[in-house]
Structure 1
Amino acid sequence: MLEHAALLNGEGTLPALLRHRAQERGGQVALREKVQGVWRGRTWAEYYRDARRTALGLMKLGLERGDRIVIAAEDVPEWFYADLGAQMLGVQVVGIYPTNPWAEVLYIAGHCQARVAITGDQEQTDKVLEALQQGNGLPHLQHIFCVDMKGMRRYEPGRPHAFAHLMALGDQLAQEDALAEQRLDRSIDSLVPDDVNILVYTSGTTGPPKGAMLTHRNFIFAAYSYASARGMVSQRFESVCYLPLCHVAERGYSTVLHLLMGGCVNFAESVDTVSANIREIAPTFFLGVPRIWEKLQQHFEFRMKDSGRLQRWLYRKGMQQGRVLSDRRAEHGRLVRLGDRLAFGMWWLLLFRNMQRHMGLNRTHTRMCGGASVSPETLKFFDIIGLPVGQGYGLTEVGGLAFVQQPGRPFVPGSCGPAMPGVQWRLGSDGEIFVRSPGVFRGYLFDDKGTRDILSEDGWLATGDIVEQRAGDEIAVVDRKKAIIITSGGKNIAPSEIENALKDSPFVREAIVVGDGRHFLGGLIQIDYDTVGRWATEQGLQYTTFKSLTLMQEVVALIQGVVDEVNARFARVENIRKFVLLEKELDHDDGELTATQKVRRGLIDKKFARELQLIYGKS
């Protein structure tokens, strides 16, 4: 294993780490997936073997260093084999979100000039085939290999082939050419940390996605620095893989951190079964997006409402006492008084232990929330029951993370923690944060201007995020620089803080604050269909669809109460004077959200012209 200092400098490559793991612990389970209701494991030796078979298959097809492939699939072991197998040859890997429509598949696969596409199933394959038929199609794409061939018997022969066929090509090459295996070994040995191995296309909230070029050094540094900051280096690593692997976060943890720490990655059956799979696996590490943490909390709270009187009393009492202990823990980073530790121990035995087990998080040593900001009350809930959830700050262009909350430090509200080991940072005159570290990317593919706009010659990355410095060495994100609203009166307002306050309510799923160049702030609010629907049922209100629910005056009054409560917490100029309930849920396919479920702010005026007219009248 590489030394601590070397890993903090991002030394090594991912294929070399995989080979090391296979040699070191070949018989131990590395990957696990559910097959016909039974969890089945694959060892590190099998992981390495099938990645090599994939690499040899790509070699037989003529792929060389610097070529690119795209992977459009749900999370499956074959994702890992294709990812690491391609990297063994120096081939760069581009992930595509399974939710991306064919038009985005066409843009990404065409822009990166991919030669091979790996697809997960018929749906993903159809998107690639549709892209091939549009205009000039995908002139560089030569082969498609699909993991699950169900439903494709009548497709054109050879388009696509099964993924197993790609590995069979590798087996064939190994049999035909006695030197193929040696050439593959030399290829792995020739890789260097600064080789570009992965391209991550940014979500494109303000324009077309850009292909961020990331290196082995970027990923290894970011993952190991995170593990060091969180005290995970000597801990057992077992995770549940369910977020898209094309995203820098899931790639950084389920692929890179896994290679660094060993342990096992378990593939969730689907996003809808994550909660059940967590309970089955009881992971030691868990990365959750805000929606997952919110659902875990809401599910338990709804369950308690349906329980007996004694259970409800015990839950209320435990959460009240736990909140007091949580506040004291926040002051010092731990419970200092013996009496507080004993009190928490008692409530852990009576209540919190069973809550942790019910969620499947009782074995976790590290919990992380990523992707977007999360309600402070949700974080408080988990801290109360002894499952503090860490937050951080980062972006694709720094390999994932640059700042993270660290255990044992006093809690600073709204903070993303201090910089991770090896990360330098400074603030610009307007509060924009600049970062320099071995995790900073190489630039954008085929976009020299975009690269120069964000990356200086001496390695400083302009993040485009406005932050505040807190507690000396910690930061709190204010908003994206481009998202700042300037009212007609010249007031600069960060909408995300108001939006997050609105989303603290279980009745609000999404909130968009508007008002740039206007006299006052308005709000576009999407209700949470599940919680508002449950509330309506409890009130004896009848509804049939999402739209019919939003049109009820009782629901409008409910959300007005949420808005009034939030307005009371902000200055008058930051108050939402008028809002409109969206009559449909925001959707990626309709262009309202990015693949990472962020609102495309650049399209607000176009997409919500009718709603804006209701708020501000005709312009």
Structure 2
Amino acid sequence: MSTNPMDFCTSQLDGEVILRRNKKEKFEDPLTIHELMIETATKFPDLIALGTRKQNDWETVTYIEYYELCRKAAKSLLKLGLERFHGVGILGESCFEWFIINIASIFAGGISVAIYPKNSFQVCRFIAENSRANIFMVEDDWQLQKIFKVQSHLTHLKAIVQYKDKITKKSPNIYSWDEFIDLGVTISDEILDRSIDAQKPNQCCMLIYTMGTTGSPKAVMISHDNITWTVRAVLQSLPFTHPPDNPEILVSYLPLFLIPAQIFEVWLPISIAASVFIAEPEAMKVQESLLKILRQVRPTSFCGIPEVWQGLQEKLNTDQMASTILKRNIFIWAKKVGLRRSLNPDAE
């Protein structure tokens, strides 16, 4: 029996697609996001998963704590009335809470909807309606005010959570992060597990919206398999290490509303039990902020983009020109050694 080509794609949030299978691939069966995460949390429960800056020190959570936090947040989303295949809008800069909300939205059977923080309230309204968002997670009062302006038009919206800073004016169905995270205490593990068990790799779990296009943003539907297959494909091409051998240490600084950033800073680290240290939001703009965290964390791998590499090169050139002849020669020697090592990592 022939397969209809249209069965390989869908534009319905609750739709399912046929997964293309290549017999030459070494991959095992398709995975859901939950399967990807619980495998790592079970194998490496005590390894550091996330680190976030708190005053002058790093606060970390292990993989089992990371997993349990995502489950706890997922229960709270269900308590607030999140429906299957309805959106959870995440409006704010990348941070520790962003990681938790993103995964919890999927665990709870919803759709994680990453939103560009600088979007206008009109664009936020379109995305909320387009994704049928039941819940909006906003970073601060500035983002909260955007949703307030269009709240009366959002027929699916049930609650808003401000996950950073103090809420300036309390209103019904507005929650702080602390209030939100404790809401799901009455939701049993069995209820959450039913939601998780109903999920399939060929179903949508995330919406990524385009920027800079004419007209309204266009939604790109991302399935569980889109993420987990891509992660496994990347791992076949790049020489990341896995526990128990030298776990990877990574830095998250790219904006997570972009899917490449999520692959390299959220999903790939989970698959290899890497430790991810989250930079401050200004790291992309303030070069010193990024350099500071790189010096502190000393990542084993670094995902750079052209603007970052260019900025680092300009800073190196400036520092080199301002140095003594001896330091300049050390700069030149160090760059040659670094290049040689990068081209041949196994060299002594």
The two structures share one fold, judged by TM-score above 0.5: yes
Question: Where does 1:379-418 land on structure 2 (aligned, <5 Å)?
Answer: 384=339, 386-387=341-342
Write the letter of the residue equivalent to 1:201: Y
Residues 1:161 and 2:161 aligned together: no
Measured after TM superposition, the shift of residue 287 of structure 1 is 1.3
Deviations 1:515-567 (A, max 9, x none): xxxxxxxxxxxxxxxxxxxxxxxxxxxxxxxxxxxxxxxxxxxxxxxxxxxxx
Deviations 1:277-300 (A, max 9, x none): 111111122112211111111111
Measured after TM superposition, the shift of residue 50 of structure 1 is 1.1
Measured after TM superposition, the shift of residue 114 of structure 1 is 0.7
In structure 1, how many angstroms separate the alpha carbons of the residues matched to 2:306 and 2:35? Answer: 34
CA contact (8 A) 2:52 2:59 kept: yes
Residues 1:303 and 2:311 aligned together: no
Q: What SS does the aligned partner of 2:153 have?
A: coil
C-alpha spacing 1:138/1:186, structure 2 compared with 1 (3 Å): closer
In structure 2, how many angstroms separate the alpha carbons of the residues matched to 1:10 and 1:245? Answer: 27
Residues 1:56 and 2:70 aligned together: no
In structure 1, how many angstroms separate the alpha carbons of the residues matched to 2:302 and 2:29? Answer: 23
In structure 2, how many angstroms separate the alpha carbons of the residues matched to 1:53 and 1:11? Answer: 26
C-alpha spacing 1:213/1:57, structure 2 compared with 1 (3 Å): same
C-alpha spacing 1:7/1:73, structure 2 compared with 1 (3 Å): farther
Which residue number corresponds to residue 192 of structure 2?
A: 184
Measured after TM superposition, the shift of residue 53 of structure 1 is 0.9
Deviations 1:218-273 (A, max 9, x none): 11111211121123264733211111111101111122101211111110022232
The percent identity for this pair of structures is 27
CA contact (8 A) 2:36 2:228 kept: no
Measured after TM superposition, the shift of residue 304 of structure 1 is 0.9
Which residue number corresponds to residue 42 of structure 1?
A: 61
Write the letter of the residue equivalent to 2:111: Q
In structure 1, how many angstroms separate the alpha carbons of the residues matched to 2:104 and 2:24? Answer: 27
C-alpha spacing 1:10/1:282, structure 2 compared with 1 (3 Å): farther
Measured after TM superposition, the shift of residue 61 of structure 1 is 2.0
C-alpha spacing 1:311/1:149, structure 2 compared with 1 (3 Å): closer
Within the candidate set 249, 264, 277, 1:253 is matched to: 264
In structure 2, how many angstroms separate the alpha carbons of the residues matched to 1:70 and 1:165? Answer: 18
Q: What SS does the aligned partner of 2:213 have?
A: coil
Deviations 1:274-329 (A, max 9, x none): 221111111122112211111111111101111113333554xx4xxxxxxxxxxx
C-alpha spacing 1:230/1:65, structure 2 compared with 1 (3 Å): same
Deviations 1:393-420 (A, max 9, x none): xxxxxxxxxxxxxx99xxxxxxxxxxxx
**In angstroms, what is the RMSD of aligned CA positions?**
2.5
Within the candidate set 87, 110, 113, 2:129 is matched to: 110
Write the letter of the residue equivalent to 1:266: F
Measured after TM superposition, the shift of residue 385 of structure 1 is 6.6
Q: What SS does the aligned partner of 2:53 have?
A: strand
Relative to the length of structure 2, the TM-score reads 0.83
C-alpha spacing 1:305/1:263, structure 2 compared with 1 (3 Å): same
CA contact (8 A) 2:107 2:196 kept: yes
Which residue number corresponds to residue 247 of structure 2?
A: 236
Residues 1:210 and 2:229 aligned together: no
In structure 1, how many angstroms separate the alpha carbons of the residues matched to 2:336 and 2:257? Answer: 35
Structure 1 segments, 4+ long, off by >6 Å, are 4-7
CA contact (8 A) 1:28 1:44 kept: yes
Which residue number corresponds to residue 75 of structure 1?
A: 94
Question: Where does 1:504-543 land on structure 2 (aligned, <5 Å)?
Answer: none
Q: What SS does the aligned partner of 2:37 have?
A: helix
CA contact (8 A) 1:227 1:233 kept: no
Measured after TM superposition, the shift of residue 183 of structure 1 is 2.2
Structure 1 alignment gaps of length 5 or more: 175-179, 319-346, 357-383, 389-406, 409-619
Question: Where does 1:481-492 land on structure 2 (aligned, <5 Å)?
Answer: none
In structure 1, how many angstroms separate the alpha carbons of the residues matched to 2:202 and 2:309? Answer: 36
Which residue number corresponds to residue 303 of structure 2?
A: 287
In structure 2, how many angstroms separate the alpha carbons of the residues matched to 1:121 and 1:114? Answer: 18
In structure 2, how many angstroms separate the alpha carbons of the residues matched to 1:59 and 1:107? Answer: 23
CA contact (8 A) 1:239 1:254 kept: yes
Which residue number corresponds to residue 32 of structure 1?
A: 51
CA contact (8 A) 2:87 2:111 kept: yes
Q: What SS does the aligned partner of 2:302 have?
A: strand
Within the candidate set 293, 312, 320, 1:277 is matched to: 293
Q: What SS does the aligned partner of 2:61 have?
A: strand
Structure 2 alignment gaps of length 5 or more: 1-22
Measured after TM superposition, the shift of residue 116 of structure 1 is 0.2
Measured after TM superposition, the shift of residue 386 of structure 1 is 4.7
In structure 2, how many angstroms separate the alpha carbons of the residues matched to 1:5 and 1:193? Answer: 20
Which residue number corresponds to residue 207 of structure 2?
A: 199
Residues 1:22 and 2:68 aligned together: no
Which residue number corresponds to residue 532 of structure 1?
A: none
CA contact (8 A) 1:16 1:189 kept: no
Measured after TM superposition, the shift of residue 159 of structure 1 is 5.2
In structure 1, how many angstroms separate the alpha carbons of the residues matched to 2:139 and 2:313? Answer: 32
Point out the structure with max Rg over C-alpha: 1
In structure 2, how many angstroms separate the alpha carbons of the residues matched to 1:7 and 1:188? Answer: 26
Q: What SS does the aligned partner of 1:109 have?
A: helix
CA contact (8 A) 1:10 1:219 kept: no
- Count of aligned residue pairs for this structure pair: 315
Residues 1:139 and 2:155 aligned together: yes
In structure 1, how many angstroms separate the alpha carbons of the residues matched to 2:189 and 2:213? Answer: 44
In structure 1, how many angstroms separate the alpha carbons of the residues matched to 2:225 and 2:54? Answer: 35
CA contact (8 A) 1:14 1:259 kept: no
Relative to the length of structure 1, the TM-score reads 0.48
